[in-house]
């Protein structure tokens, strides 16, 4: 069985378990952790995660943040100036974080997203160097009704997540889903 097949199998076991409804937003987040070299395979097989979700009686909403930065940048009046002086972009990152959180919040609070919905997020690797995933999630915890599945290209070890294996890790309360045997229960 390939690492991706094991990851899907572990996700299937987790999504089919009964869901507690009285959890805090931080406890409703699942990280599907995979090697950064598997990104294209994950994207081409995202349906392999949707199918067990719907078979378990839950609904599925997919959000792709891959183009979040170029979309945001294209709307900026001073975008050409940022390319001439990239350090000036640092001051605008709070605005980018807010817009990205707003995009995710819209999916989490849409009519399709109920207490029985998995809102899945692709493309967090494209946020690297601009905003932190932990900061983004901090902004939307209170909006998570069902579960938030974050496709996470990086590493997980002893409650520490490292995006793209490059950034210092952070300790996080999300439920990790990996390709290793077994799955942590929520």
For residues 110-135, give the mean pLDDT: 95
pTM of the model: 0.91
To which residue do tokens 């299937």 refer?
Answer: 12
pLDDT digits (tens, 9 = 90+) for 11-23: 999 999 999 988 9
pLDDT band at 184 (very low <50, low <70, confident <90, very high): low
Nearest to 38 by CA among 152, 116, 182, 172: 152
* Structural domains in the chain, sorted by start: 3-177 (3.40.50)
Is the confidence at residue 186, as pLDDT, over 50?
no
């Amino acid at each position: 069985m390939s690492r991706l097949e094991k990851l899907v199998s572990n996700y299937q076991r987790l999504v089919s378990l009964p869901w507690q409804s009285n959890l805090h937003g931080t406890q409703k987040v699942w990280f599907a952790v995979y090697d950064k070299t598997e990104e294209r395979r994950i994207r081409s097989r995202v349906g392999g995660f949707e199918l067990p979700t719907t078979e378990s009686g839950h609904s599925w909403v997919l959000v792709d943040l891959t183009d979040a930065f170029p979309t945001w940048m294209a709307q900026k009046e001073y975008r050409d100036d940022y390319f001439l002086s990239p350090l000036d972009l640092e001051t605008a990152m709070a605005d980018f974080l807010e817009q990205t959180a707003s995009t995710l919040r819209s999916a989490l609070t849409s009519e399709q997203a109920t207490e029985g919905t998995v809102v899945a997020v692709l493309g967090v690797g494209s946020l690297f160097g601009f905003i932190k995933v932990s900061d983004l999630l901090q902004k939307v915890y209170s909006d998570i009704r069902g579960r938030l599945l974050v496709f996470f290209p990086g590493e997980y070890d002893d409650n520490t997540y490292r995006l793209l294996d490059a950034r210092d890790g952070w300790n996080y309360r999300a439920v990790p889903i990996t390709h290793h045997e077994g799955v942590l229960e929520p």
